[in-house]
Amino acid sequence: MRHCPVEDRLGIEDLAIAYCTAVDTIGDIDGVCALFADDAVYDLTTLGLGEVRGRKGIADFFAGAFPTMAHNAHALSNFAIVSYAGDTASARAYVNAISQGTDGSEMALRARYYFDVARGGAGWLITRLGMEFLIPPA
Amino acid sequence: MRHCPVEDRLGIEDLAIAYCTAVDTIGDIDGVCALFADDAVYDLTTLGLGEVRGRKGIADFFAGAFPTMAHNAHALSNFAIVSYAGDTASARAYVNAISQGTDGSEMALRARYYFDVARGGAGWLITRLGMEFLIPPA
Amino acid sequence: MRHCPVEDRLGIEDLAIAYCTAVDTIGDIDGVCALFADDAVYDLTTLGLGEVRGRKGIADFFAGAFPTMAHNAHALSNFAIVSYAGDTASARAYVNAISQGTDGSEMALRARYYFDVARGGAGWLITRLGMEFLIPPA
């Protein structure tokens, strides 16, 4: 695998963390969408929600999802570059999340995120985000 | 925002981690205080404890708090530089903490730390530390 | 302490994260062993399991342990270089882990890992791995 320079590694890790921050801010749809490429795939198959396609689709998804969320905390760790090709890369990270719904529900999650990213004009963007459970949901 | 060089970014992240390590060591008041600037503000408003001011005030606070603590684990993640001005910076991180008291109590915490830091003689120092809850305490 | 260059710091953090990934993959004995030096010590004293010695001993240990594991999630955080001497180093990290056994048991762990590492031909290798609890196991 081609070596990932430190600046890119940290830039991609920043993007993964920014995704968690945006989701945990709750309500800032533009903030979430700004992290994804125009034709990004947001793969929620693991959650039984299929693949959400494109920045517009992601905006629509969060327009529906944010109003159901009361509090989120997505702690990201174990970040690793999986492959690097200069202007594209794949990375992996763990998430340890708690989500509280406006209906009083609470979901705890231990999972792995898979990020495909591409260098955009202003920095790295997510082109695909997938997830698999580390601990099966209760 | 001015670009934060890698060495400073890692130095500031080291400082945030050192704060967690110091608090989790329990009892080492000097170790905690060495991470704060002389006139630092340790803002515990979120915990209903107001603002603790100055290294001496922080020492007094921990002289009272450490004897009530049996075990702490403050896991830091999602570190991000928020602003950088060369000799000062602001950073943000998540904390996923468990604190067990000598009275048998246990508190779980999912929160965001806000660090204001300044370059000191021997490295970065905390000039202000604040916190907000991500998940409201139970 | 001698300054640890950024590339080495990140390389050693990568190794610590790779250890978690290998253990969480469950079943890939070669993947775990490839992270340890030939004469590594895997110190499980804290878990009441003594010291496992050598890559062969570690392989035998995981040959016995993996079949008892159903799901693992070892979230690593608070990584810190403790000492650095160019071709060897010591590092510390927190782990927030959940392990589910094939027998339906679940163990939650908040602990500190201590890694001694050495530069090998293809990168850093673990020469000793020890652990201490941050929160006593329930």
The structural domains of chain B, ordered by start, are: 6-135 (3.10.450.50)
Does B120 score more than 90 pLDDT? no
d(CA C63, CA C56): 10
A7: buried, middle or exposed (CB in 10 Å: 19+, 13-18, 0-12)?
Answer: exposed
Stretch B105-133: mean pLDDT, rounded?
Answer: 96
B63 touches chain A (CB under 8 A): no
Query: Which of the four pLDDT bands, split at 50, 70 and 90, describes residue B1?
Result: confident
Best probe of the B interface among A17, A23, A95, by most B CBs < 10 A, is: A17
C73 vs A9, A80, A110: nearest CB = A110
Give the nearest chain C residue to A10 (CA atoms).
C10
A114 touches chain C (CB under 8 A): no
Give the nearest chain A residue to C96 (CA atoms).
A96
A82 touches chain B (CB under 8 A): no
Least confident of A112-116, B6-10, B109-113, B119-123: B119-123
d(CA A80, CA A97): 18
List of chain B residues whose C-beta atoms are within 8 Å of the C-beta of residue C110: 73, 75, 98
Q: What is the pLDDT of residue A1?
A: 72
Quote the percentage of chain B above a pLDDT of 90.
Answer: 96
pTM: 0.96
d(CA A60, CA A122): 24
pLDDT digit string (tens) for B2-49?
Answer: 899 999 999 999 999 999 999 999 999 999 999 999 999 999 999 999
d(CA A117, CA C36): 31
Q: What is the pLDDT of residue B29?
A: 97
Give the nearest chain C residue to A81 (CA atoms).
C14
Q: Do C96 and B73 touch (CB under 8 A)?
A: yes
pLDDT tens, N- to C-terminus, chain C (138 residues): 789 999 999 999 999 999 999 999 999 999 999 999 999 999 999 999 999 999 999 999 999 999 999 999 999 999 999 999 999 999 999 999 999 999 999 999 999 999 999 998 889 999 999 999 999 998
Q: Which amino acid is at C123?
A: G
Show the tokens assigned to C17: 């994260």
**Which DSSP symbol is given to C121?**
T
d(CA C63, CA B47): 47
Contact of A26 with A66, CB cutoff 8 Å: yes
Chain B nearest CA to A54, separation (Å): 26
Q: Do C71 and A136 touch (CB under 8 A)?
A: yes
Q: Which residues of chain A have pLDDT under 50?
A: none
List of chain B residues whose C-beta atoms are within 8 Å of the C-beta of residue A24: 134
Give the nearest chain B residue to A96 (CA atoms).
B96
A93 touches chain B (CB under 8 A): no
Contact of C90 with C116, CB cutoff 8 Å: yes
Chain C nearest CA to A126, separation (Å): 22
Q: What is the pLDDT of residue B121?
A: 81
C103 touches chain A (CB under 8 A): no
Q: What is the pLDDT of residue A56?
A: 97
What value does the mean pLDDT of chain B take?
97
Degrees (nearest 5) of the Cα angle C125, C126, C129?
170
Q: What is the pLDDT of residue B76?
A: 98
**Within 10 Å of residue B45's Cβ, how many Cβ atoms?**
11
Q: Do B110 and A96 touch (CB under 8 A)?
A: no
B100 touches chain A (CB under 8 A): no
- Using CA atoms, how far residue A38 sits from A118, A125, B7, B94, in Å, is 11, 9, 33, 29
A129: buried, middle or exposed (CB in 10 Å: 19+, 13-18, 0-12)?
Answer: buried
Q: What is the pLDDT of residue C54?
A: 97
Stretch B47-54: mean pLDDT, rounded?
Answer: 95
